[in-house]
Structures are given as structure tokens and as C-alpha cells.
Amino acid sequence: MRAASITASFTPSGIPTSYYNLFADAGLAAAPPLDPETRAPVAPEKLAALFAGGLLEQELSPRPQIPIPEPVLEAYASFRPTPLRRAAAFERALGTRSRILYKYEGASPVGSHKLNTALPQAYYNHLEGTRRLATETGAGQWGTALAFACRRFGLDCSIYMVKVSFEQKPFRRTMMELFGAKVRASPSELTRFGRAFRAEHPDHPGSLGVAISEAIEEAVSVPGTKYALGSVLNHVLLHQTVIGQEALRQLDELGLFPDAVVGCHGGGSNFAGIAFPFVRHRLDGRELQLLAAEPEACPTLTRGRFDYDFGDTAHLTPLVKMYTLGADYVPSPIHAGGLRYHGAAPLVSELVARGLVEARAYSQERTFAAARRFAASEGLIPAPESAHAIAAAEELAAEADAEGRERTILLCLSGHGLLDLSAYDGQP
């Protein structure tokens, strides 16, 4: 067995000192992004208008392990390593014979895994003289993380928040503003694209595709501003691999290796974060189920087509090869706002297409029922997004029980739902 993903080094407290670059390590290749004008592979210089050089380098890096800069490690130290816990009370509530363990990313200051990538993104931009980052956010988890990271590294932060979430989750906005960010509902009146879109669709609830277009427009038109994305891109997934690397090590300390690894899936970042370091073992012949859990309301991996598509509604981004429901797809306004994205990360898509990762879709009703059981037994209120991973873990445990097997199931609890309690209130 090749051991690159196991021999990763850690700080004394247990934080990985490098990001794990699965595709380079495993010799896998993903289809390159295409220039929207020429349809040829996009020139890196074109992306330099949007992203810091240090991040672009990571996007295309051939190195299996990429060192984490010292200032980012220092920032991680206030919340990493995050806890890995056995959900013993939840197992009892289910009556399952399987072990269920969860890696809890909600312990970060902003309450989700998004800080893992917000910090290096703000750091590299700060290093290269960027004064301001523009971004979009769905449920607000990513926006909160970037707002905090920008504050930490001295950048201004401008956030386009999908309108339906802006209205459903006012406290996320308060939190971003506490961290000094400017927050507006998208579609907004602040960009050319936003104004045109509103004129055409006055009652539109917004979507990540639209908000991305607005943030990109701001990044290319306001001097000193660059763009930041909270999921989908290779470098974002790379940053999230701290989750899986820690989990591998924490499980190893318990003498465990999982039979299944589960994460919820919107753009793909928390799923990749928990799963990629384990994919290496699967490629090396170890039996291991990797399951991406997505909402039925936005079934990108289970119902989308695997093809080149735009990342945003205005078609400003390069074309990337991914599972997609179409750049104009508008999911219904479910509570799991962070999973309302028409596309999937190209790297996750590639693994699904190769049969290395399985995807299943779950209804909102089923995910909240699972989340309520988890909350009542473990005392942690899951984010509506993370609840999809819990529903999937329940299903895997039930399947194992039906087969008379005892499995070890690892799930990523990507965030807490303390700012989503109104969603729980309405449920039975």
C-alpha cells in the first residue's frame, strides 16, 4: 500500500502540516477548464484577474503534498484538530449494530468547515497585495467564514448572499457584519448583471449561480479586488483535506478504519475534505464505500449530466467538466441553502464518473428527521446541509443491520445548525 496519505506529518497538537493533493498523488487527471470564448484550455493568466497566484498554483499543482503556510497553521490552531467522536447515543437511538463516528467541523469559530479554506484564501491574497475579496454565499456559512478570515488578514470583504437565504437567515448576516463584511441580497442592484436579472425576474429567490456572477463582476471591475469561491475549485477542495487527514489519524489512534465515509454534497468541498484522503486507500485496493449525500431538490450527482458547463448564470466563469443540472437551474428554496448549486466539483465528478464515489439523494423531510434524532441523542444541532450526511449514515447502518453486518461509518458533520433553528421549529 502506498502511504502518502498516511505518512502526512502533523503538528504536535495533531494538525496536518500539508494539504493532500489526491489527483497528483494518485496520477489521476481531470478534464481541464475551457475558455468560454475559444473553448480551448483556459490560460492561467486569464484566471489571474480573479485569483491570487498562490491559489492558482495550488489549483494546478503536481505535488502530492502542499505545505500549509505557517500563518494559516497558526490560525487553524484556534480550532483544529477538530474532534472525532463516536455517536454512541445516536447509535443506541437507532438500535444499530454499526459504529457511527463523526468528525465535527462545527467546532470552528464560524461554525463550519468553510474556515479551512477561507483562511488560506485570505492569507494568499493578503500576501499578494489584494485589498478586498468579493464572494457569494448560499446559507451564509461560507460568507461568515470568509468575513472572519478577511478580518484576520486585514482585507475588506464584500458578500452577495442568495436572496432566499438572506431572508431566511438574518442572523448569518449579523454575524458577517460583526466580522466587518458588507452583505447584500442577490440578485442585487449593485451589479450590471444583477440589475438586468432583476428586471427580467423580479421575484427570483436567487441562486448561487446568480450570486457568483455578481461577485465576479465586482472582482473584475473594482480595483484591488479579487474573487473567492467557497467550493468546487481544486484549491478549495485541497484546503479541506485537513479534515480527512486528521480523521484518518484520529481513527488510527482508536485502532479503527472505516467501512464507509459519508459527507453531504453541494459544491463538493466538505465531501472532498473528508473523503479524498480515504480515496487513496480505496485506490490501493482497500474495501471502502465513499458516499456523497445530496438533496433531492438539487440532485446534481444523481440526476445531472457529466459535461462541460458554466459555473455561474451569467456565463462569466470558464467551462468545467462536472455533473451539472445546467447553469440556469434554480433549486427550490430548501433550508439546506449551502447545497443549492447546479454543479459539482470537477474532481468529485471525476471520481463519481469512475465509480469510486457513490451518490444518493435525500428528501428534506428525511434529512430533518435524521437531524432531530441526532440532536436529541448527541446534543448537537446539525446544520441542514450536514443533516444529509446523517440521513445517509442512518441508511447505511440500516442496510448493514439488514445484512447482519457491523460496519464502521465515518461521517463529516460539517457544521452546526444553531442559526437554522427556525428550520427545525417548523418540523414535526
Q: Which residues bind its own copies (CB under 8 A)?
A: 78, 85, 89, 107, 109-111, 148, 151-152, 170-171, 174-175, 178-180, 372, 375-381, 418-419, 421-422, 424-425
| Distance of alpha carbon 233 from alpha carbon 320, whole angstroms | 10
94 vs 279, which CB is nearer to its own copies?
94
Q: How far apart are CA 268 and CA 410, in angstroms?
A: 17
Grid coordinates given for 8: 502526512
Given the DSSP bridges, would you call strands 99-104 and 84-86 parallel, antiparallel or unpaired? antiparallel
Q: Which element (helix H / strand E) includes 293?
A: strand 289-295
Q: How far apart are CA 325 and CA 328, in angstroms?
A: 8
Q: Rank residues 79 and 308 by Cβ distance to its own copies and give the closer one.
A: 79
Q: Residue 159, Cα to own-chain centre: how many angstroms?
A: 17
- Nearest to its own copies of 1, 421 (CB atom): 421
CB of 96 to its own copies, least distance (A): 19
Closest to 421 in 3D by CA, of 365, 364, 375, 362 = 375
3-state secondary structure of 408: strand
Taking the least distance from each CB to its own copies, the nearer of 221 and 422 is 422
Distance of alpha carbon 342 from alpha carbon 67, whole angstroms:
32
Q: Give the single-character DSSP code of 298.
A: S
Amino acid in position 67: P
Q: Least Å distance between CB 151 and its own copies? A: 6
CB atoms within 10 A of CB 319: 20
Shortest CB 402 distance to its own copies, Å: 28
Distances (CA, A) of 230 to 118, 175, 213, 408: 7, 17, 14, 30
CA dihedral over 66, 255, 116, 303, signed as positive or negative: positive
Provide the minimum distance between the beta carbon of 374 and its own copies in the complex, in angstroms, as a whole number: 10
| Angle (nearest 5°) at CA 24 between 22 and 25 | 60
**Smallest gap from residue 168 Cβ to its own copies (A):** 13
Least Å distance, CB 315 to its own copies, is 36
- The nearest distance, CB 230 to its own copies, in angstroms, is 17
